[in-house]
Chain A
Amino acid sequence: NAGVTQTPKFQVLKTGQSMTLQCAQDMNHNSMYWYRQDPGMGLRLIYYSASEGTTDKGEVPNGYNVSRLNKREFSLRLESAAPSQTSVYFCASRSRDRWSGANVLTFGAGSRLTVL
């Protein structure tokens, strides 16, 4: 099925460990995003990529790095995990509605990360 696929769905890390969240979309979208979701704070943008080979910081980029490996894939890396990074992470890609011209985001299912 077409959409946004994130892995892993769940991960527990110890403080200081590193890990990479993977995201892939098969809809040929140019723009991809990483958000984190925390209670009462909605979703906050970590990084985004407007096209293959480009990445930009969002609202809360500290402690994260990203790689836009190709048009399909956009990974999020935590080099040295901290308890403050315990969150649910969402990857999304952006498309333009052919009728209205509006841009909409399609989200992955989310990845729950716990840092002890």
Chain B
Amino acid sequence: AQTVTQSQPEMSVQEAETVTLSCTYDTSESDYYLFWYKQPPSRQMILVIRQEAYKQQNATENRFSVNFQKAAKSFSLKISDSQLGDAAMYFCACRNNAGNMLTFGGGTRLMVKP
């Protein structure tokens, strides 16, 4: 079984500043994947970044990076140089390597102030 917890229902950031969204998870799997998805008002789910648990190096995708702390089961998302288009719901998710199930957290609504 897996659980994913996002403790911040809402976050706010000033345009061009940096913001970090928190995520903790629990899994009994030894090998798994972690994801951050973005859901804009259009409701489309867009993959932002993914991290393989066996990799120690934190994943980065342009302005998006993660802080993966495996021992602490923490997987936070850092957005640098925030843009107005970053405003959306962000979901953290965990998937085990062998199974078909992807477990999502409850989401964090990010607001970007001009």
Bound-state CA distance A110–B39 (Å) is 11
Interface size classification for chain A: 20 to 34
Residues of chain B from 43 to 57 with CB closer than 8 A to chain A in the complex: 43-45, 47, 50, 52
Main secondary structure of the interface of A (DSSP, over half): strand
Interface size classification for chain B: 20 to 34
Interface hit among B12-20, B60-68, B70-78, B96-104? B96-104
Return A40 CB to nearest CB of chain B, in Å: 5
Question: With an 8 A cutoff between CB atoms, is A104 at the interface?
Answer: yes
Question: With an 8 A cutoff between CB atoms, is A13 at the interface?
Answer: no
Return A84 CB to nearest CB of chain B, in Å: 18
Q: CB-CB < 8 A to A42: which residues of B?
A: 4, 6, 91, 93, 104-107
Return A108 CB to nearest CB of chain B, in Å: 8
Question: With an 8 A cutoff between CB atoms, is A78 at the interface?
Answer: no
Contact call B104/A56, Cβ cutoff below 8 A? no
Bound-state CA distance A48–B6 (Å) is 24
Return B39 CB to nearest CB of chain A, in Å: 8
Contact call B35/A104, Cβ cutoff below 8 A? yes
Bound-state CA distance A97–B4 (Å) is 23
- Given the interface pairs A103-B33, A110-B43, the reply to whether A56 lies near B52 with Cβ below 8 Å is no
Q: CB-CB < 8 A to A94: which residues of B?
A: 100
